[in-house]
Structure 1
Amino acid sequence: MNDGVNGDRQGAGAGAGADGTGSTDTAKWASRAATALWAATVAVLLLALPWAAHGRLPDPLATHWDGRTADGSMSLTASAAFPAACWAVALAAAAVARRWAGAPARTWVGAGLGFGGVLLVGAQAAIVHANLDRPDWQHARPLGPEVAAVLVAAVAAGLLGPWLAHRRGRGPRPATAADGPRLDLPEGQRAVWLSRTVNPWLGLLAAASGLGAAGSALAALGGLGGPAWALFAPCAVVAVAAAGCSSVQARVTERGLDVTFGPFGWPARHWSPADVAAARMERRTPAQVGGWGYRLSGLGTTVMLRRGECLVVRPHRGVEFAVSVDDAERGAALLNTVAARRAG
């Protein structure tokens, strides 16, 4: 839906700026070097931890616990080789993913390697500590807080990659609102652009999860107690999250850009004309941004409800924001026009 938008679109001009090929190549090699260093560090730790303390460890070692009691073991050699082999498989899978999925997968490959590396090393360290100075593997110490600490550290390491990519965004762009598509709008004339996208599958998921939450709540109130309440929490969370991502509306006015989410228009984000460096239309797919919904990736922030054209906003500060709506080029043109007027 578009109201009051008049005039011809002006072609997008190329932004002036220095060639960034050298810095891009440097960043690529730095990323590869960091990945190689991380891969080697994890492999060395997995192999070295058991052998560094082999004089104080039983052979075989306890490697599996049933609650607080050790119920499985491996030889010292196997306890070092098995996690290292798992790490080698993870590295091979990451290499294949980067080879075939390309640049958009790099953020998530990094997240997976961070999570997997910390998880394996943490588990290896916990196993060594549990077996340290024990007469045999059946007398290994029970594992408790160590498991929770390893999981928390692994999740934090897994989130670090996407967070860094989100902070980095897509790098500097010299283009400004004056260089992007614009509308030939007479001075003093006001215009409004409005576009809305609905994802019916997310709406269906929200409805089904909502019914599940309501049903489990009724069952709990009817006497089922704990199990029903345990089902209520995840269903309610999924229902709220899916409903919030099931639809999005973008609106450009003289006040700037407003993006609202869900059937009630909340939460919402706002960019004033002074906040906008440039806007454009760009075609994106879920594979490029890491899935559906509200995504953080190397492309910045993307609200992905359907593949295809997106309105992309590059603010003066922070990373880019994209929203998948129809007629995005006209919305970008009007936003550039409003931003250029404010700057002038």
Structure 2
Amino acid sequence: MSERHLRAVGADESGGAADEPFGGAEAPELALLTPQQRSELRRAKRAALWAGLILPLVVVVAATAVLLAWSGRLPDPVARHWSGDEPDGFSSQTANLLTYLGLGGGMAVLFGLIGLLGAGQSTQAVWSVMNRIMAAASLTIVTSIMVMAVLTARLQLDLSDARDAPDPGAAPGLSFAVGIALGVLAFFVQPRVRIDAPPGDEPPRLELGETERAVWTGEVRPTRVFGWAMFGTIAAMAAGGLSVWLAEGVGIALWIMLGALLLVVVLLTTHLWFRVRADRDGIEVRSLLGWPAFRAPIGDIARVEVREIAPFAEWGGWGTRWIPGRGVGIVMRTGEGLVVTRRDGRLLALTVDDAATAAALLSAALRRNGEEPSGDAAADDTHDTHDNTEERRS
């Protein structure tokens, strides 16, 4: 029996977009959409713009105006934090105002733009419920922050010393409740529009001899820029732990810092870099540490396709994603990926280089298993192996 080994050629080797922060794909061309889809997408984006950016900024401006109007009646410094029923954190009125202005405005811009631009991260236009969620989350978070700023300031009106400020009581809960209420309303007011990427390309046909086996291996890995960002995060946390140790020695603060650093390292090493293997038995995706691992046996596969993947719009972000009823996405960048559809409709989506070869191998395994892949390519399709390294062993 002969065995064929197919190794994926990475984007760095083949001139791909691995150096782009998140794949670097251009915004979708409207020509890819039907007139009705273009109309629905414009309507959905307009609603998301209002819910996720304009209204949150209006809340920030309104709360800032209230704080400015009260400035003559507030002590300076003002109380910003309470421990129990007594204030224990203070700042000047100017610093307090700038803090809330920065938090509220920054969150509005961050979440609002993510919600708006999430659909523009692929060469195939996609708009999903995640865009509605992020726009609503923007209004929820910003409203909660700014209502809290107004309520805590109200407690200090006409006080000469902020240390006399009373217990904020229900102010935090009320702020959160108002934010949640407006966010839920914003979510349901937005139109229920979903525009999926069109079906991907069917894999080219890979012919195997009766006694020939084939194995394809590849990797799902973060882009270079994303990797450097993660390295910077770990380095900053390590530097913070070192500074705490130098300033205070071994104590609870140091253990908290070390615990947080360990947690981040474990999460990154188990959820950002995966090895992928496809053969006649199906496909297996396993992290560098061996866990977590995801498998799709060949008997459980209904369809294999290669298409553009938009991590945010389809999966709610980058990394290892699980959505109940939809499946698992291991998506580190925007761009070409392998999408395996199970018989129950759940997906296993991977942003992996040379996805076409993996898809062709799995389709060949399905045919050998006596099951023609759904919508498979014509029998006279050919398999182009110029981007692969092949070895034959007898």
Which TM-score band applies after superposition, normalised by the shorter structure? 0.5 to 0.7
> 1:1-344 residue pairs with structure 2 within 5 A?
3-4=3-4, 21-38=34-51, 39-43=53-57, 45-46=59-60, 60=73, 64-68=78-82, 69=87, 72-73=92-93, 83=101, 87=105, 90-91=108-109, 103-104=120-121, 114-132=136-154, 136=158, 138=162, 140-143=165-168, 171=196, 173-174=198-199, 179-186=202-209, 189=211, 191-197=213-219, 224-245=250-271, 247-263=273-289, 265-273=290-298, 274-280=300-306, 293-294=319-320, 301-304=329-332, 310-315=337-342, 317-318=345-346, 321-325=349-353, 327-340=354-367, 341-344=369-372
CA 1:198–1:314 in 2, change beyond 3 Å: closer, same or farther? closer
What amino acid does structure 2 have at the position aligned with 1:21? Answer: T
Distance 2:211 2:169 in 1: 68
Consecutive unaligned residues of structure 2, counting only runs of 5 or more, are 7-31, 187-192, 373-394
What amino acid does structure 1 have at the position aligned with 2:288? Answer: G
CA 1:44–1:102 in 2, change beyond 3 Å: closer, same or farther? closer
SS of the aligned residue for 2:121 comes to: helix
CA 1:110–1:141 in 2, change beyond 3 Å: closer, same or farther? farther
Give the TM-score, by structure 1 length: 0.58
What amino acid does structure 1 have at the position aligned with 2:263? Answer: V
Contact 1:191 1:254 in 2 (8 A): yes
CA 1:132–1:324 in 2, change beyond 3 Å: closer, same or farther? same
Per-residue Cα deviation, 1:88-125 (whole angstroms, up to 9, x for no partner): 995599669968x9702999987775554333311232
Task: For CA contacts below 8 A with separation 6 or more, give which structure has more relative contact order.
Answer: 2
Give the TM-score, by structure 2 length: 0.53
What amino acid does structure 2 have at the position aligned with 1:254? Answer: R
SS of the aligned residue for 1:184 comes to: coil
SS of the aligned residue for 1:121 comes to: helix
Contact 2:277 2:283 in 1 (8 A): yes
Distance 2:178 2:203 in 1: 43
Shift of 1:236: 1.0
Distance 1:257 1:342 in 2: 18
Q: Percent identity over the alignment? A: 17
Distance 2:177 2:205 in 1: 48
Per-residue Cα deviation, 1:132-154 (whole angstroms, up to 9, x for no partner): 57652546544587558868998
Report how many residues are paired. Answer: 296
CA 1:268–1:42 in 2, change beyond 3 Å: closer, same or farther? same
CA 1:127–1:259 in 2, change beyond 3 Å: closer, same or farther? same
* Structure with the higher fraction of residues in helix conformation: 1
Distance 2:262 2:102 in 1: 40
Shift of 1:170: 6.7
Contact 1:258 1:269 in 2 (8 A): yes
Distance 2:287 2:361 in 1: 21
Per-residue Cα deviation, 1:223-279 (whole angstroms, up to 9, x for no partner): 82313312221121122123224642211223321111113x221111233334222
Per-residue Cα deviation, 1:178-200 (whole angstroms, up to 9, x for no partner): x43221235x5563323133869
Contact 1:252 1:334 in 2 (8 A): yes
Shift of 1:315: 4.7
CA 1:20–1:37 in 2, change beyond 3 Å: closer, same or farther? same
Contact 2:220 2:330 in 1 (8 A): no
What amino acid does structure 2 have at the position aligned with 1:130? Answer: T
What amino acid does structure 2 have at the position aligned with 1:136? Answer: D
What amino acid does structure 2 have at the position aligned with 1:269? Answer: F
What amino acid does structure 1 have at the position aligned with 2:37? Answer: T
Distance 1:313 1:83 in 2: 46
Distance 1:90 1:51 in 2: 17
SS of the aligned residue for 1:65 comes to: strand
What is the root-mean-square deviation in Å for CA atoms of aligned residues? 5.8
